[in-house]
Structure 1
Amino acid sequence: MRYHAILLTILFLLAGIAPPVEAGELFAPGVISTGLQETSSAFSPDGHTVYFMRSDFMEKDDTILVSRLSGSQWSVPEVASFSGQWHDSEPAMSPDGKRLYFVSNRPVSPGGEPLTVEMMGQRYPGTNLWYVEQLANGKWGEPVHVDGAMNDGNQVYNPSVAANGNIYFSAHRPDSGKFYQVYVARRTATGYAAPEKLDLGDVEQNRMDPGVDPQERYIVFASSGPDSLGSADIYISFRNADGKWGKPEHLPGDVNSAALENAPVPGRAFGELYVSSSRSDAPTYPKERDTLATLQHRLAAAANGSRNIWRFDISDVLKAHGITL
């Protein structure tokens, strides 16, 4: 079977076609993926703890939850120790598991006003980057505001951390143009350098929600490119030998759909990719006649059009670009 898979990959490459992606699976349906909005998974190094965001459909009430794996079952989620009072979302774990970054509208100074931002005449919760650090007892410390240029503008989203400490994120900044773009703030001996915009192609499109490989060999992100199947799809860019990012490639197979896909996160196992998707199990008509109970059960379940977390295997795509571990 393995020989067959390798042969297929070679044939795809010779034909100039991206190798297939394994069919996705809904992540922990009914426990983590529910009829509400779930997105932005962040796993501990052993893969046995996951932090994620759960919200209402309008995403006005974002909270970070945590669930732990026991045997083959994920526990009923709890509100993370550092969340539950503010508009908190988009957790991201450092590769060593010692820091967890997230974005929040909480005041920068105690007793201050919550962060807000105005867009097209409407006011929304603003977002700054924060982190919690793991204490000696394994618990998280108090949230720490990330000072400096990364938080300029109160529109910082989806942090992702490389093994060397570089922080990738999406934001709307003075050099973003009309749309959101992806940036990196490089770790230095004295802190972080000023954020740099990544060259990922056409700036007349949103480039959001970066998920970087810990070794920075590739980056996945959400965008509304001309080949998108839905309002946003997942793309991948590989780092060239000169350090520049290659032309983004639309991920093949089941990763993308006619629904919204965003918040891609490389998992802890090779080739794992977690994606938020609003794909749904729409009924076929005529459907079996519903009762009130069956209707409400289906409408409240996962895959009802709310965003859920899905797991995919993109190992063949990585192997086709020379990444094997």
Structure 2
Amino acid sequence: MNFKSLFFLPLLLASCLSATKEIPSHPIDIKTKTTAVTLLGEHILSTPLYERDIAIAPKGNQIVYTLADYKQTMRCLVTTTLEDGKWSTPQILNISGTFHDIEPFFSDTGNRLYFASNRPIYNDQSRRDYNIWYSDRAHDGWADPIALDSTINTKGDEFFPSLSNKGHLYFTATRDNGVGKEDIYRSEYRNGVYQNPEALPTAINSPAFEFNAYISPNEDLIIFSSYGRQDDLGGGDLYMSLKDKKGEWKAAKNLGIQVNSDRLDYCPFVDWNTNILYFTSDRSLKDHKPLHHIDTLKIYSNSSLNGFGNLYKIGLDEVLKTYNQD
């Protein structure tokens, strides 16, 4: 067991929460659709630390996301629950805190949580690659995680699980049968067994990097990140594709400046109860004033918009409106 991590992570979360006591906090609003990109839960969810990978339970009563230090040298899953109309203080999930746990995704019932982790797998303590795991909800939190089988998990990295209502799995990997440097794969769930994954077509995957894909419940919409395309605005952008009448993916479109920035924009998630698109961005304050005092730099470094990951939202209707106009 990594005792250093067990000691470090509570301090990480405590430092995050102490800031909320000193700075007025914005409430966690997952109900209101916005017409422009809006920071989510400033000083509560989005803090000076690195937040990414939001997942909202189907009932809208629990949020799980990834919290990390500035350089993401340690990452854990953090949760907050809606209790008597108020969101609880974020806490490290009972199954997290020892290894790198990232990229949560709830099943359609909300009783199973999928995520990626570099914890040892298949009783091999030497393994530190990222694989896809799941945990079932228990009366006192979450049960011991179980790894998906070797049809999915290889000795390479598997990231960012996203599932359809039928259980078909989409994830990120680099494999010999891929299209580019990193690709999005789909594994059909048939008779309780995951089938051999196949890379999505070139309407989605390219010779560049494609990663962190969210799939809609009916598999008719996909939002993902790509880095290295000609229309990239900076550090990696969000793209979207819809299926045509034949059930084939249309060529993915960059979501443009309505959503993307000149920094990394990734980790999409859609809450279909509210039609809100959530994502992570490394964007920062655009207009920096000249530095004349060290305290000014300290204030910027301790602000949410310091260039480290934060959680954002925008109404999906607004995004689709622009997407369909192009």
| Same-fold call, TM cutoff 0.5 | yes
| Superposed displacement of residue 34, structure 1 | 1.0
- Where 2:36 maps in the other structure, the secondary structure is strand
**Does residue 100 of the first structure (1) align with residue 130 of the second (2)?**
no
Find the partner of 1:65 among 73, 78, 82: 78
- Where 2:300 maps in the other structure, the secondary structure is helix
CA contact (8 A) 1:179 1:206 kept: yes
**Does residue 28 of the first structure (1) align with residue 32 of the second (2)?**
no
Correspondences of 1:80-99 after superposition (within 5 Å): 80-99=93-112
Q: Match for residue 260 of structure 1?
A: 264
Larger RCO (CA within 8 A; separation ≥ 6): 1
**Amino acid in the other structure paired with 1:128:** N
Instruction: Quote the Cα distance in structure 2 between the aligned partners of 1:319 and 1:187.
Output: 32
**What's the % identity of the aligned pairs?**
28
**Does residue 272 of the first structure (1) align with residue 272 of the second (2)?**
no
Instruction: Quote the Cα distance in structure 2 between the aligned partners of 1:267 and 1:52.
Output: 14
Q: Match for residue 215 of structure 1?
A: 218
Q: Match for residue 16 of structure 1?
A: none
- Name stretches of at least 5 consecutive residues in structure 1 with no aligned partner: 1-20, 117-125
Instruction: Quote the Cα distance in structure 2 between the aligned partners of 1:295 and 1:74.
Output: 32
Deviations 1:138-190 (A, max 9, x none): 73211011113111233101111111111111111121255110011111014
What count of residue pairs does the alignment treat as equivalent?
A: 289
TM-score (norm 1): 0.82
Deviations 1:211-232 (A, max 9, x none): 0111111000000221121120
Instruction: Quote the Cα distance in structure 2 between the aligned partners of 1:236 and 1:146.
Output: 27
TM-score (norm 2): 0.82
Distance 1:184 1:178, change over 3 A: closer
Deviations 1:261-310 (A, max 9, x none): 011111243431111101111444347x5562x54233112110001111
Correspondences of 1:92-241 after superposition (within 5 Å): 92-110=105-123, 112-116=124-128, 126-135=129-138, 137=139, 139-201=141-203, 203-224=206-227, 225-241=229-245
Superposition RMSD on alpha carbons, in Å? 2.2
**Amino acid in the other structure paired with 1:148:** S
Instruction: Quote the Cα distance in structure 2 between the aligned partners of 1:273 and 1:212.
Output: 12
Deviations 1:204-261 (A, max 9, x none): 1111000011111100000022112112000001122322211101114431011110
